[in-house]
Structure 1
Amino acid sequence: MRTFVNTEDYRREASRRLPRIAFDYLDPGAEDEITCRMNREQLAAIQFQPRVLRGTSLGEIDLSVETFGKASRLPLVIGPTGFAGLFWPNADLGLADCAAAAGIPFVLSTASTMSIEDVARRSNPAGSRWFQLYLLKDQAATAAMLQRAWDADYEAIVLTVDTPCAGKREASIRGGARLPLHLDARKILDFARHPLWTIQMLLNGEPHLANFPYSRKTPFIMEEHLKRGIGWDDMAWLRKNWDRPLIVKGIQCVEDALLARDMGADAIVVSNHGGRQLDGAQSPMRILAEIVRAVGSTVKVMIDSGFRRGSEAVKALAMGAHCVWLGRATLYGIAARGPAGAADVLKIFEDEMRRAMTLLGANKIKELDGSLIKGA
């Protein structure tokens, strides 16, 4: 069995195991992938400035945080990822259970391949489940989906706001990565070259968008039903109709962070959608500290986009982030080895965070601050 020591090992294994159509949906960003590279480069550019002789010990590091009155063992969240069933059967359930075992929240996507109810019913009941909502053109249909999340005891709603249109993801366009899959000679040949993945799909059935009506004759085409031109009035409607925590994901400037706070958001996620939307958008790490200073303690500031190591998460925490959301990282794990792989990615992140904090001279999350980093 191969030894996996970091997230990149899982990425390479995922690229070997998945057919092109699946990996090209998972991995690349938009257009020239400038933003994907900037996400990684900005994280690399921030340097640590350790303090010594502070009595830190690897086994005594406290990584816990409290979010919306509930403790998390780690300052991580498994973020929402659509079409996860393309990488492993019942991937949404596997990710939810991995999050529960790690003591962190899991966010189910509107575009999940398991339904709101199935994940709630079949996943570890001790886990924290949040639901990421894409608004639909039909407000009554949106309200019905919101009610389903409420009835299934999802603890928070995540409103994604950076998708007024889909980014130009050229690898996916070339490969035809969309559900339902439309077979052609090139895809069939690629599937034949990846027999383990293909056998799994044949045994478990082609994944489909489980939160919407679907049949072989009339497959649900998500793009036809999404409300793209959403505005602050839509957030006001959502805030009025959901009185559990509301998180706004996709904030990229101070002005919008302040508006989200003033409109009643309980938390925001500083995010450029992992470089999958507007190519050339700045890295969230470039604006994180300014947003944290601007919104103060009234709103929890979270972050995603490009994180591959626990030490990178520590950099974000030192800049004031409450927690870090993982997207591709845990998908690499589940695509390579199933739920065991995703669980191992979380263990790797935890180990790297513990080591970074021990070497920095910080025993607890609250001891991390800007004095421990340079170049932010």
Structure 2
Amino acid sequence: MILNWYELRRQAKRALPAFAFSYVDGGADDEKTLAHNMSVFDRWQFAPPVLKDASQRDLRCRVGQSQLKVPLLVAPTGYNGMLRYQADETLARTAAKLGLGHIQSTVSTASMEQLAAVSSGPRWFQLYVLKDHEITLNLLARAQQAGCEALVVSVDAVHFGNRERDRRHYRRPMKLSFKAMADIACHPGWVRRVLIPHGMPGFGNLTPYLPPEYQKGMGAAAWFASQMDQTLNWQTLAWIRKQWPGPLYIKGLMTVEDVQLAQQLGAEGVVLSNHGGRQLDGSISPMLMLAAARQAAGRDFTLLIDSGFRRGTDVVKALALGANAVLLGRPLLYAVASGGEPQVERAISSMVAEIDRTMAQLGCCSIKDLHPGLLNPA
């Protein structure tokens, strides 16, 4: 039985070759931000009122045009096929079953068309902007046709972070070391779950645009890295705003000023994020600017948040400080790697139970009842 994310992580570490686990688990440079993201929640302690009837609780919430059963969305994560065959389909299908939103990455293994075929739940598309804006236009058209309810533009990965733990497994870019390949041989279960079905996974959304020599696996990753638009700016986002008719969210903002600029641009909301500690090491947690962002943005602007969430109590603290919902990344990747769809369902159900239990202990019957007064600075 899996009781918490620590056990999920241990099982994922056993199930994956070291290079794959490091990709999922690691951060940038000294990984100080990675550690900070999880420790920051200790800065607030609950001050629970008592003698309130919270026997009936409702976790439903509305985020933009998407109605969710719980205030959670699956974060956009790339190359999940390295963890398990059809990992993206597993995450999308389970999210729909349990009432979460699902945000698909530009660099997911499955294409948006494939996920549309397996998921009836709220699906959003996350966009990395490439140099060739014709590709961007085509991705937006495909996302609309595939029924994606919202667009999330990531702006914090134009210059990739220095992920040293990940790099140690390669003798040169995109070429695994001999030690890493020997370690793969020690994980026959992973080979069976990932490589045997259809060989090295690729990037489903990018397949139509890849030159023939980059169609599979790490070659596609090299092409993608070379195609990132390093001139991305607010003017580019204004252009995207004109092209996309639905709700638009900007992901990766870490200052109140940028949140206000996103409002002025006409975005429906933002995702406060330091990319899970995988970009600029030494960054603050988005939790530390959440309250100020809510005050500046007003009550009607959508504030989503990710980076470091591992417990339902973490989620409740974010909701109390002003977040509309939380994006979950690593815990669900540990789950899909270690046990597939049943494990993902258990991990989500455990998180939802923790949120529900925490609300009951705080005397709150709905998400709307949560407020900063329930928290004390530690």
TM-score, with length taken from structure 1: 0.95
1:115 has 2:108 as partner? no
1:334 is aligned to 336
Deviation at 1:45, TM superposition (A): 2.1
Q: Counterpart of 2:2 in structure 1: which amino acid?
A: F
Kindly report the root-mean-square deviation, in angstroms, between the aligned alpha carbons of the 2 structures. Answer: 1.6
Q: 1:177 to 1:54 in 2, by over 3 A?
A: farther
1:30 has 2:25 as partner? no
Q: Secondary structure at the match of 2:58?
A: coil
- What number of residue pairs does the alignment pair up? 369
Q: Secondary structure at the match of 2:299?
A: helix
**CA–CA separation in structure 2 for the residues paired with 1:302 and 1:139:** 27
**CA–CA separation in structure 1 for the residues paired with 2:213 and 2:302:** 45
2:125 is aligned to 131
Q: Secondary structure at the match of 1:132?
A: strand
Q: Secondary structure at the match of 2:252?
A: strand
Q: Counterpart of 1:186 in structure 2: which amino acid?
A: K
Aligned ranges 1:223-238 → 2 under 5 Å: 223-238=225-240
Q: Which moved more, 1:224-233 or 1:303-312?
A: 224-233
Q: Secondary structure at the match of 1:5?
A: coil
Q: Counterpart of 1:275 in structure 2: which amino acid?
A: G
Contact conserved, 1:21 with 1:177, CA < 8 A, in 2?
no
Deviation at 1:215, TM superposition (A): 7.3
**CA–CA separation in structure 2 for the residues paired with 1:91 and 1:177:** 27
Contact conserved, 1:169 with 1:276, CA < 8 A, in 2?
yes
**CA–CA separation in structure 2 for the residues paired with 1:216 and 1:339:** 33
1:100 has 2:96 as partner? yes
Deviation at 1:270, TM superposition (A): 0.7
Match of 1:190 among 172, 183, 189: 183
1:290 has 2:285 as partner? no
Contact conserved, 1:253 with 1:287, CA < 8 A, in 2?
yes
Deviation at 1:56, TM superposition (A): 1.5
Deviation at 1:199, TM superposition (A): 1.5
Q: Secondary structure at the match of 2:168?
A: helix
**CA–CA separation in structure 1 for the residues paired with 2:18 and 2:110:** 23
Deviation at 1:228, TM superposition (A): 2.2
Q: 1:96 to 1:178 in 2, by over 3 A?
A: farther
1:311 is aligned to 313
Q: 1:42 to 1:202 in 2, by over 3 A?
A: closer
Q: Counterpart of 2:287 in structure 1: which amino acid?
A: M
Deviation at 1:271, TM superposition (A): 0.6
Q: Percent identity?
A: 40
Deviation at 1:37, TM superposition (A): 1.3
2:10 is aligned to 12
Contact conserved, 1:251 with 1:257, CA < 8 A, in 2?
yes
Q: Counterpart of 1:201 in structure 2: which amino acid?
A: V
Q: 1:216 to 1:201 in 2, by over 3 A?
A: farther
Q: Which runs of 5+ in 2 are unaligned?
A: none
Contact conserved, 1:116 with 1:211, CA < 8 A, in 2?
yes
Match of 1:170 among 161, 164, 167: 164
Q: Which runs of 5+ in 1 are unaligned?
A: none
Q: Counterpart of 1:226 in structure 2: which amino acid?
A: M
**CA–CA separation in structure 2 for the residues paired with 1:41 and 1:177:** 33
**CA–CA separation in structure 2 for the residues paired with 1:317 and 1:24:** 30
Q: Counterpart of 1:304 in structure 2: which amino acid?
A: D
Q: Secondary structure at the match of 1:208?
A: coil
Q: Secondary structure at the match of 2:276?
A: helix
**CA–CA separation in structure 1 for the residues paired with 2:66 and 2:200:** 36
Deviation at 1:190, TM superposition (A): 0.5
Q: 1:350 to 1:178 in 2, by over 3 A?
A: farther
Match of 1:71 among 56, 67, 74: 67
Q: 1:85 to 1:178 in 2, by over 3 A?
A: farther
Match of 1:352 among 336, 351, 354: 354
Match of 2:254 among 213, 228, 252: 252
Residue by residue, what CA displacement relative to the aligned partner does 1:195-225 show, whole Å, maximum 9, x if unpaired?
1001222322211112223577334311121
**CA–CA separation in structure 1 for the residues paired with 2:280 and 2:194:** 32
Deviation at 1:279, TM superposition (A): 0.3
Q: Secondary structure at the match of 2:109?
A: coil
**CA–CA separation in structure 2 for the residues paired with 1:43 and 1:296:** 23
Q: Counterpart of 2:371 in structure 1: which amino acid?
A: D
Match of 1:53 among 44, 51, 56: 51
Q: Which moved more, 1:222-231 or 1:78-87?
A: 222-231
Contact conserved, 2:332 with 2:347, CA < 8 A, in 1?
yes
Deviation at 1:194, TM superposition (A): 1.1
**CA–CA separation in structure 2 for the residues paired with 1:202 and 1:308:** 29
Aligned ranges 1:182-221 → 2 under 5 Å: 182-204=175-197, 205-213=199-207, 214=210, 217-218=213-214, 219-220=219-220, 221=223
Deviation at 1:69, TM superposition (A): 3.4
TM-score, with length taken from structure 2: 0.94
**CA–CA separation in structure 2 for the residues paired with 1:176 and 1:256:** 36
Q: Counterpart of 2:10 in structure 1: which amino acid?
A: R
1:157 is aligned to 151
Residue by residue, what CA displacement relative to the aligned partner does 1:220-239 show, whole Å, maximum 9, x if unpaired?
31112121220000110110
